[in-house]
């Protein structure tokens, strides 16, 4: 399963939406996620991929595409290490 699919699965479970509604162009606001949902999703993704997402980085995410790209980059860098 790709990083993108795993991130979508995690977010969909936490926010209780069908993962089909989560697109790279979409936002947490689009799926009516509240701040607690967002924090839980970030923590769950950090745990799933054994990465850290600093708050400063998380605040820069404008869409799920930004979020997914960041996670993909972190996973790739971790695999190279």
Read off the pLDDT of residues 14-59 as tens digits, 9 standing for 90 and up: 999 999 999 999 999 999 999 999 999 999 999 999 999 999 999 9
Which residue ranges make up each domain of the chain?
3-80
Q: What does the alpha-carbon distance between residue 67 and residue 5 come to, in Å, rounded to a whole number?
A: 12
* pLDDT-derived band at 81, boundaries 50, 70, 90: confident
Confirm whether 34 is a catalytic residue. Answer: yes
What CATH number matches the domain at 3-80, 3.30.420.40, 2.60.40.1120, 1.10.1200.10, 3.40.50.300?
1.10.1200.10
Total Cβ atoms within 10 A of residue 22: 22
Active-site annotation holder among 9, 18, 30, 34: 34
pTM equals: 0.93
């Amino acid at each position: 399963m790709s990083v993108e699919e795993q991130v979508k699965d995690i977010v969909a479970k936490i926010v209780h939406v069908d993962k089909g509604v989560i697109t790279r162009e979409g936002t947490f606001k689009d799926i009516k996620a509240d701040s607690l949902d967002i924090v839980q999703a970030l923590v769950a993704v950090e745990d799933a991929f054994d990465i850290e997402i600093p708050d400063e980085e998380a605040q820069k995410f404008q869409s799920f595409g930004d979020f997914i790209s960041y996670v993909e980059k972190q996973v790739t860098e971790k695999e190279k290490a």
